Amino acid sequence: MSTAQSPDQLAQDFVAFAVESGVLRFGEFKTKAGRLSPYFFNAGLFDDGAKLGRLAAFYAKRLIASGLEFDMIFGPAYKGITLAAALSVELARLGHNKPFAYNRKEAKDHGEGGTLVGAKVQGRVLIIDDVISAGTSVRESIAMITAAGATPCGVTIALDRQEMAAENGVDLPHSAVQYVTQQLKMPVVAIAGLADLLQYLRSADDSSVTAHAAAVQAYRDKYGV
């Protein structure tokens, strides 16, 4: 999103919510790629009923607005499990009742067995996660969904970091989200992106928040795509 465009209000509301909830923090944080990032997004801190309910509402609004059609939701272990359940509840509240499933990290050798839990994985399956760091989780989810005889149809995430992916310490010319959309041919629906975060930082009333805008912009200038 260019700075010339009007703000995406849903994205702005989400970023404000993430900052207020302490889920989106500013400082100096080391990423999986070994970079020092001026911000950190930890969806595990949407850790009570009120916050999780609001998060699910953001996902649901963005998905409904996107027009992406899907028959069920799949949440990869571990964060995706809670997200899939919460989104399923919120969609049902809005009149879109969708089944959901998730995977275990280790196969169960008793009872019903296997690695998949929940509704039968079938039809068009939407994968839900918090972010896409390298695309590994998405590839694994696609493999499980395909093996079950269903069709992975898209991915939804909370935040698109909009930065270069890295492999073995080497920066790649595309982001993890671009890899998923271009190489895996999967549409990705994100509630917000780094551009939305920058817009929020520049327009916030709180000077302690706007103080981080320069560092985030510098990070985007260096690693952004």
- Report the C-alpha gap between 145 and 150 in whole angstroms: 6
Indicate which residue of 30, 51, 98, 110 is catalytic: 110
pLDDT tens for each residue of 130-140? 999 877 889 99
Structure tokens at 200: 């929020």
Output the pLDDT for position 103.
94
Distances (CA, A) of 128 to 93, 188, 191: 18, 10, 12
Q: Which domains does the chain have, with CATH numbers?
A: 9-223 (3.40.50.2020)
Q: Which stretches of the chain score pLDDT less than 50?
A: 1-4, 110-111, 113
Is 30 part of the annotated catalytic residue set? no
State pTM to two decimals.
Answer: 0.91
110 is catalytic: yes
Annotated binding-site ranges: 32, 40-41, 78-79, 104-105, 108, 110, 129-137, 161
Give the pair of three-digit tokens for residue 201.
Answer: 């930082």
The pLDDT assigned to 134 comes to: 76
How much of the chain exceeds pLDDT 90, in percent? 80
Q: What is the pLDDT of residue 114?
A: 67
pLDDT of the residue at 105: 77
Give the residue numbers of the binding site for 5-phospho-alpha-D-ribose 1-diphosphate. Answer: 32, 78-79, 104-105, 108, 110, 129-137
Q: Which of 96, 108, 120, 222 is catalytic?
A: 108
Confidence (pLDDT) at 5: 52
Count of beta carbons in the 10 Å neighbourhood of residue 172: 15
Instruction: Express each pLDDT in 62-81 by its tens digit.
Output: 999 999 999 999 999 989 99
